[in-house]
Every structure is written in C-alpha cells, then in structure tokens.
Amino acid sequence: MAGVEIRHLSKRFGQLYAVDDVDLSIREGEFLVLLGPSGCGKTTLLRMIAGLEQPTTGQIHIGGERMDDVPPRARGIAMVFQSYALYPHRTVSRNISFPLEALGLPRAAIDEKVRWAAEMFGIGRYLDRYPRQLSGGERQRVALCRALVRDPKVFLLDEPLANLDAKLRNTARDELKRFQRRIKTTTVYVTHDQVEAMGLGDRIVVMDGGRVRQVGTPQEVYEEPVDTFVATFVGQPPMNLLPARDPALPPGTLLGFRPEHFLPRDHVTAGEPLQTFPFAVRRVEYLGSDRYVYGTIADGAANDATVIAKLPATVGMAIPEGETLEFAVPRRALRYFDGATGARRP
C-alpha cells in the first residue's frame, strides 16, 4: 500500500497541453476519482501514473519513490482498461496468471493465487473459458482479477464500468467499492460519469482542459463548487446559473442554485430566509421519482436562460405549463460566482 504524489506534472502533445501542471497528493488506501469531460486529461494523467505515457515535465512518486523514469512493470501498479484488454487467445485462468508468469513465480504458487483471486470475484467456474465466451460483467471481473494478483501498491482503473449496460453498472459499482474497502489498496479511478464519481470516490478530482479544477469529497465538490465549471459539470441536472440582480453585489456576479433547492414557495421548509423568483414554466418532464420543470425567471430582466427545478414526487401540486408561479430557494443554498472568471465568490 502506498500513496501517490504528483508534482508539477505536464504532458504536451504538439501544441496542446493534455495535462497542465497538475499537483496532486493521493493518500494511502484512498479511492480517488478523476472526473472530467472527454479530453480533459484525466486518462492521460492515469496513463502517466501507469508509465504508459512519459510526462513532458514533472514528477511522480509512488510510495515515496520517484517513479516517472521507472518502467511500468516496476512501478507496483496494476491497471484495468475500459475494454478490459483481456488476452483473447488465453483462457481466463491464463489471463489471470499472465502477470504472475511474468514475475517468474513457480507454477504451484501461480495456480493457488489464480484460484484465490477467481474465488474472490466469483468467477471460479469460468477459469477454462476464453474471454469471448464471457459476458461484459464477467470480463470485467477477469480484468480485476488480473490486476489483483499482482498485489499492486496502486490500482489504476480507466472507466472500467463504461462498457457495461446500465442495469449491471449499479451492482458492479457496489461490488467494486466493497472490494476496494476490503483490500484497502490505493485506487485511482477515471470516469466522465459524475454519478459514478460521487458514488465511488473518497475524494473527487474534477479536471478540465488539462488542469485540476477542484479536489474534494463528493459532498464538497457538490455543495461547495469552486467555480462554474465544477458547479455545472457535477450534478444532474446541472446547477442553475443566472445573473444576480442584487445591487449589493459587484456587477457581473452570477447566482447559482441546485435544481432540487428550487421549489414552489409553499414547499420550501418554513422559517428559513428565502429568495423568491417568479418562474415562467415552459415544460414539465415527468420522470417517476421526480419532475423536472423547465422555464425562465420572469423578473422583467431580459434573461432567457433556462432554469430547471427538480421536484421530488412528494411535491404533489399541479404545475401548469405556460403559467408563472412563485418559486423560492433557501438563502443558504445560494452560491455566487464571478461572471468573468467563473470563480466562486464568498
């Protein structure tokens, strides 16, 4: 087990900085999620930790040892690829044993370890099958087994759930998290899916344009986003942003609030200071457990930014389309951002 220290790490492809001066400290035993849109540099960062990509500048330390010049096999890492990258010509057991064979372990020790790992993931029955004979979920477990038997100091997972169908993804997520809690190995997990990130991560690193925007627990990232990028990237539907009309605030300030805090006035908890808005309802989406209400703020300003309200099923009142209703947000749920830079304001 070991932590990972990343210092001033950059990777340039031609003119483009895929990863731009990233500093990151991954704690021992932590489940860290790298979250961002595609092209944000999260996968490049992971591949640099793995050693599949050479940094342009900067340093990587794993377990206190400098590793950026060390070949992948000697870094004490194991990686699970999005496609699982199983060896198609080898059986499941020979897939799992491959890293052990490379280590030159005796046959008996290899067999024992393969069996142990396969039992751990419940794929003991499939040891003699070929990857093409397995379902997506089974392949994913084989890939995890293959990573596990190396006894890595750090697990690197590149969107390992992305190729599973939606039904399977929830259970696979739960399994993955329980597995990591049990073996307590430092894990770096790349995803563009913020639900996965929130559900799995001890901490989340939100990246965009090769830079780290915010590092924090899921709760911190969700409730206290440091800028408008994080505010709108994390959360579904995203945080509502509109120009603040309060003359006490500096000009250009943006006001942000989460759709679930934006409720019909009568349904907001009483006894709290509120900010109310006239909400011109355009369309209502019924989603079973929630209703999404799309509309604009009709306060006389020329502001047609779409605002979304997320009403839980417990709010039973009728929301007629085309009418303007009074909605409110508790003041404690309001966030302010600089309109020019997007940075958070106190």
Partner 1 sequence: MTRRRRFADREDLLGAAMLAPALAYVLLLVGVPFGLAIVLSFSNATAGSLSFGWAGFANYSAIFADPIFRRALANTAIVTVGSQVLVVVLATAAAQVFRAAFHGKRTARFVLLLPWAVPVSLAAIAWTWIFDSTFSVINWTLKVSGLLHGWLYWLGEPGLALVAIIIVQAWRIFPFATVIVLAGLSSLPQDVMEAAIVDGAGFWRRLFYVELPLLLPVVAVAVLFGVVYTATDLGVVYILTGGGPANTTHVLPTLAFQRGIQGADLGQGAAIAVFLLPFLIVVAILMLRLARHSEVGSR
Positions 150 through 189 that interact with partner 1 (CB under 8 A):
150
As measured in angstroms, the least distance from the Cβ of 73 to partner 1 is 4
- Tokens linked to 6: 């990343």
* Part of the chain binding partner 1 (CB under 8 A), chosen from 7-15, 79-87, 228-236, 321-329: 79-87
Closest approach of partner 1 to the CB of residue 332, in Å: 47
Shortest distance (Å) from residue 90 CB to partner 1: 8
Answer for which of 46, 67, 78, 198 binds partner 1 (CB under 8 A) is 78
86 or 255: whose CB is closer to partner 1?
86
Among 37, 69, 102, 112, binds partner 1 (CB under 8 A): 102
**To the nearest whole angstrom, how small is the minimum distance from the Cβ of residue 83 to partner 1?**
5
- Minimum CB distance to partner 1 smaller for 141 or for 310: 141
Span interacting with partner 1, options 94-102, 183-191, 233-241, 308-316, rule CB under 8 A? 94-102
Q: How far is 250 from 253, CA to CA, in rounded Å?
A: 6
Site for partner 1 in 24-53 (CB under 8 A): 50-52
55 vs 99 by CB, closer to partner 1: 99
One residue of 19, 33, 46, 77 binding partner 1 per CB under 8 A: 77
Stretch that binds partner 1, among 23-31, 38-46, 84-92, 200-208 (CB under 8 A): 84-92
Q: Which of residues 107 and 283 has its CB atom nearest to partner 1 in the complex?
A: 107
Distances (CA, A) of 153 to 3, 21, 79: 8, 24, 11
Binding mask 103-142 for partner 1 (x = CB under 8 A): x--------------------------xxxx---------
SS (H, E, C) the chain: CCCEEEEEEEEEECCEEEEEEEEEEECCCCEEEEECCCCCCHHHHHHHHHCCCCCCEEEEEECCEECCCCCHHHCCEEEECCCCCCCCCCCHHHHHHHHHHHHCCCHHHHHHHHHHHHHHCCCHHHCCCCHHHCCHHHHHHHHHHHHHCCCCCEEEEECCCCCCCHHHHHHHHHHHHHHHHHHCCEEEEEECCHHHHHHHCCEEEEEECCEEEEEECHHHHHHCCCEHHHHHHCCCCCCEEEECCCCCCCCCEEEEECHHHCEEHHHCCCCCCEEEEEEEEEEEEECCCEEEEEEEECCCCCCCCCEEEEEECCCCCCCCCCCEEEEEEEHHHCEEEECCCCEEEC
Decide: is 327 part of the binding site for partner 1 (CB under 8 A). no
Residue selected from 79, 142, 198, 255 as contacting partner 1 according to rule CB under 8 A: 79
Residue 226's identity, in one-letter code, is V
Q: Where do we find the tokens 């349904």?
A: 267
Nearest distance in Å: CB 165, partner 1: 15
**Counting contacts by CB under 8 A, is residue 292 touching partner 1?**
no
Q: How far is the CB of 152 from partner 1 (least distance, A)?
A: 9
Q: Are 156 and 77 in contact (CB under 8 A)?
A: yes
If the CB atoms of residues 150 and 213 are measured against partner 1, the closer one turns out to be 150
Which residues have C-beta within 8 Å of that of residue 251, sequence separation ≥ 6? none
Q: How far is the CB of 22 from partner 1 (least distance, A)?
A: 21
Residue 292 CB, nearest approach to partner 1 (Å): 36
Smallest gap, in angstroms, from Cβ of residue 45 to partner 1? 16
CA angle 143, 147, 151 (to 5 degrees): 160
| Interface with partner 1 (CB under 8 A) | 50-52, 72-73, 77-79, 81-83, 85-89, 98-99, 101-103, 130-133, 146, 150
